[in-house]
Amino acid sequence: MSSALVQFRTDDESKIKAMSICEKLGMDLQTYLRMCLSRLIQENGVPFSMKIENTTNKGFEALKKASRIAEENGISDMTLDEINEEIAQARKQGE
């Protein structure tokens, strides 16, 4: 699949704040924007809300741990299609 460059302008303060939030969530801004585009298309609308309400939240800690494990195993850059294929294969083996 070919890729396209998507660019837009925002003020420096907004970019810095957004990057800081993404960092706290264990991702970079580019990953977040790719995730948003993918889910927007998949759901045909904005399907989720991600907020930092409590940095000791077990969900955030689990997400960070999953990100570290993915990086350690060299799978942190898998595409959505690759992830879905892995899930489909695991389900077939479990039948």
Residue 71 placed within a domain: yes
What pLDDT sits at residue 56? 66
Does 28 map to a domain? yes
| Best CA proximity match to 67, nearest among 78, 76, 56, 55 | 76
Distance CA 89, CA 95 (A): 10
- The answer to pTM > 0.75 is no
What pLDDT band is residue 75 in, cutting at 50, 70 and 90? confident
> What mean pLDDT comes out for the span 65-78?
85
User: Would you say residue 6 lies in a domain?
Assistant: no
Q: pLDDT for 2-35, tens place per residue?
A: 889 989 899 999 999 999 999 998 999 999 999 8
pLDDT at residue 33, as a whole number: 92
Number of domains forming the structure of the chain? 1
Domain that holds residue 64: 12-94
With helix as H, strand as E and coil as C, how does the chain read? Answer: CCCCCCCCCCCHHHHHHHHHHHHHCCCCHHHHHHHHHHHHHHHCCCCCCCCCCCCCCHHHHHHHHHHHHHHHCCCCCCCHHHHHHHHHHHHHHHC
Domain membership of residue 45 (yes or no) is: yes
Q: Has residue 4 been placed in a domain?
A: no
Q: Is residue 47 part of a domain?
A: yes
35: in domain: yes
Backbone angles phi, psi at 48, to 5 degrees: -150, 165
